[in-house]
Chains A and B, each alone.
Chain A
Amino acid sequence: MEPILRIRNLHAEVEGKEILKGVDLIVNPGEVHAIMGPNGSGKSTLAQVLAGHPAFTVTEGSIIYKGQDIQETAPEDRARDGIFLAFQYPIEIPGVSNSTFLRTGLNEVRKRRGLPELDAFDFVELVKQKAAMVQMDQSLIDRPVNEGFSGGEKKRNEIFQMAMLEPSLGILDETDSGLDIDALRIVSDGVNQLRSPDRAFVLVTHYQRLLTYIVPDFVHVLFDGRIVKSGGKDLALHLEEYGYDAIKQEADAANGVSN
């Protein structure tokens, strides 16, 4: 089986500062991978680089998505090909309604998949169905994108968008941050409903708490721009109990750094 995503020795920098220092990761269809790590380890950078944020430069290594090297692929083409990034801090777009925003994006994705544009009626039906998945208030659909939304509403909106665009690879960047326990459960339920044998997820998270709701197949610890430890879902529990310090020390020891 061909992996959905194969990252090899990925190095990336922003404004001349190297953040990712050789990341290797393989994600197969149907799998959920959690990327954990302390603040500043490069988790969000990895998510942004996968989505193609122009502020980051890949200096070495490769990102192979569905067999294609996407290093030179524009963010919009990655999205059309099925990569979706749920933002840690969803952006507000005053003056553009959520529905205009989504319909424009959705029709681009459908075009790439050889599907006809959705007419207004079918679009509304689809919106109803997908908004229900994350219990999102219908009134938010006609409001400007994320403007005046609460933190929880913004995160729901991200998962709602993911449900609408039906990606092959969903990357969730700190989706749990700023959510209360009820919202976390609702958002997680939404993600779990989207799990399928041909779709994969990469969950970037600082805390284990999200992973009790979205149970991962693999957990990786990112530290100082590298994946220093990988394991099953129990690794997250271990981290929750013992923190990142032990991992840091192991990593430092492996690099020959002495304290």
Chain B
Amino acid sequence: MSAPARETHGTAWAEDAAAFQTGAGRRVAPWIADFRKLGLDGFRELGFPAPKQEDWRFTNIAPIAGARFPFAASPGPGVSSASLAPFLFDSPDWTRLVFADGHFVSSLSSIGEWDGADIQSLADIMPSGHPVAERHIGQCVPTGTNGFTALNAACLNDGVYINVGEGETVKKPVLLVYLAVRDEPFAAHPRNLIIVGDHAQLTVVELFVSLTGGAHFTNALTEISAGRRSVVDYYRIQQESPLAYHVSSVGVRQEELSSFSSASINLGGALTRNNLSVELAGEACTTVMNGLSIVDGDRHVDNQTALDHASPRCESEELYKAIVDDRARSVFNGKIYVRPGAQKTDAKQTNRNLLLSKNATVDTKPQLEIFADDVKCTHGATVGQLDENQLFYLRSRAMDEQTASQLLTYGFANDIIERISLEPVRAYLHRAQSSALHTAAAIGDLQ
């Protein structure tokens, strides 16, 4: 067997991770040390994914593998409540955990009284034994999935631990803010472990933002275990700098009659790769997966979703949209597996892409593998420009061509945002998408 190319092997990254593990940091319990070691061994074996691997064919991660983003040993300087203020969704009463350059910042965070859940920074549970976390970590996103998940484990440093008790409803959303603060290049590998008990309810919002325009690398990982009859809403908003590299791995396991609803909004980053996989382990679950990406310039976004209908009578609905301008590229790959015996599965997948420039590129690939006979599975993908008849309709109502185009483009994206049930998140995203689309503020304000 020939040796993998050096830039995908990531030798330097492995050295950095090894140095991180042996370096002076907070003392961690053996289960964490073991988990990190498992990650490092995995990464040394796997290296970074190579373009010849089918799932990575359209996204070349060489810019990450070939770069050196050192681990940030501490939060960058100068982060204050003023710099955080724009990212709180005008909801100061929400529980929030703020991370700067990958480190929990307790002074900017607000974790109230027991609200039905044990909520802590992951770093806080790492010094001692923790049977629950120990049992769950690496379950929904196996460490050996790929080089990024292994690297995340190898560099396990901080993130959030949420455990919602059986039958508890966490009334206020839990907001997780990941700020990139420092100017110089760095890497952060935040990891979230979210356990939602039977009959419990939780809403989580993850927000990734850069306070400067610098290059950095985020390798985020979230595991969500949704108990029987639980209801989990999960929103993920990525607004990092146009020079940032962002890779995420989100794994969800649903027990019977649970409901999981997600929206993945991607407005930032030079290169973004999101992996979302949901396992419908129990019967009669419902799953909603919505996604919106807005890319321009030379930016690249890749959304890979995998939905594993492993049990009967589950319903899933997936709608991912992308607006692609200039020379940007958007990739979508939606896998749906229907396992033998997963009868009465009802799965619907849709991918819609709006091309605003002739040099923009879209690759879309539905991938359905069905091994049960009594199922309903539909999929559809479209790639196109603004619709002539819609444009004329708006112009016939006195809007000039530019305003009409902007409003239609805005509407194309807003269709996803309007599916989000949290009003403060919608309001935030109306503004954020206006800015991403360079739309006249007036249009966003009207919503």
Residues of chain A having any CB pair with chain B under 8 Å: 51-55, 74-76, 78-80, 84-85, 87, 90-91, 93-97, 99-106, 108-109, 112, 144, 161, 165
The reply on B2 being an interface residue by CB < 8 A is no
The answer to whether A95 and B396 touch (CB under 8 A), given A104-B403, A104-B443, is no
The answer to whether A54 and B412 touch (CB under 8 A), given A102-B397, A104-B399, A104-B403, is no
Q: Across the interface, do B397 and A161 meet the contact criterion of CB distance under 8 Å?
A: yes
Instruction: Name the contact of B399 in the complex, choosing from A52, A105, A161 (C-beta under 8 A).
Output: A105
Q: Across the interface, do B415 and A79 meet the contact criterion of CB distance under 8 Å?
A: no
Between-chain CB contacts (< 8 Å), 27 pairs: A51-B396, A54-B388, A54-B392, A55-B388, A74-B395, A75-B396, A76-B395, A79-B397, A90-B393, A93-B407, A94-B412, A94-B415, A95-B410, A95-B414, A95-B416, A96-B407, A96-B411, A100-B443, A103-B446, A104-B399, A104-B403, A104-B442, A104-B446, A105-B394, A108-B399, A112-B398, A144-B418
Contacts of B404 in A (CB 8 A): 76
- The listed residue with most A CB atoms (<10 A of its CB), out of B392, B397, B407, is B397
Q: Across the interface, do B395 and A75 meet the contact criterion of CB distance under 8 Å?
A: yes
The reply on B413 being an interface residue by CB < 8 A is yes
**Chain B facing A: main interface SS:** helix
- Number of residues of chain B lying within 8 A (CB) of chain A: 30
Instruction: Name the contact of B390 in the complex, choosing from A84, A85, A91, A97 (C-beta under 8 A).
Output: A91
The reply on B374 being an interface residue by CB < 8 A is no
Instruction: Name the contact of A91 in the complex, choosing from B393, B403, B413, B446 (C-beta under 8 A).
Output: B393
CB closest residue in chain A, given B412: A95
The reply on B408 being an interface residue by CB < 8 A is yes
CB closest residue in chain B, given A78: B396
Q: A54-B392, A100-B443, A106-B398 are in contact. List 19 more A-B contacts (CB 8 A).
A: A74-B401, A75-B395, A76-B399, A76-B400, A79-B396, A84-B396, A85-B396, A93-B393, A93-B394, A94-B412, A94-B415, A95-B411, A101-B397, A101-B407, A104-B397, A104-B442, A108-B398, A108-B403, A144-B411
**Chain A facing B: main interface SS:** helix
The reply on B447 being an interface residue by CB < 8 A is yes
Q: Across the interface, do A95 and B413 meet the contact criterion of CB distance under 8 Å?
A: yes
Q: Across the interface, do B412 and A165 meet the contact criterion of CB distance under 8 Å?
A: no
Contacts of B410 in A (CB 8 A): 95-96
Cβ distance B431 to chain A, nearest Cβ, rounded Å = 15
Contacts of B80 in A (CB 8 A): none
Mask: chain B, 401-429; 1 = CB below 8 Å from A; 0 = not: 10110011011111111100000000000
Contacts of A161 in B (CB 8 A): 397
The reply on B81 being an interface residue by CB < 8 A is no
In the bound complex, how far is the Cα of B400 from the Cα of A76, in angstroms? Answer: 6
Cβ distance A93 to chain B, nearest Cβ, rounded Å = 6
Cβ distance A10 to chain B, nearest Cβ, rounded Å = 19
In the bound complex, how far is the Cα of B311 from the Cα of A176, in angstroms? Answer: 50
Contacts of A93 in B (CB 8 A): 390, 393-394, 407-408, 411
Question: Which 8 residue pairs are nearest across A and B when measured between Cβ atoms?
Answer: A95-B411, A95-B415, A96-B411, A105-B397, A95-B414, A108-B398, A79-B398, A91-B393
Q: Across the interface, do A76 and B393 meet the contact criterion of CB distance under 8 Å?
A: no
Instruction: Name the contact of A97 in the complex, choosing from B397, B403, B413, B447 (C-beta under 8 A).
Output: B447
Instruction: Name the contact of A94 in the complex, choosing from B397, B411, B442, B447 (C-beta under 8 A).
Output: B411
Instruction: Name the contact of A99 in the complex, choosing from B401, B414, B443, B446 (C-beta under 8 A).
Output: B446
Cβ distance A60 to chain B, nearest Cβ, rounded Å = 23
In the bound complex, how far is the Cα of B399 from the Cα of A144, in angstroms? Answer: 17
Instruction: Name the contact of A104 in the complex, choosing from B389, B393, B407, B418 (C-beta under 8 A).
Output: B407
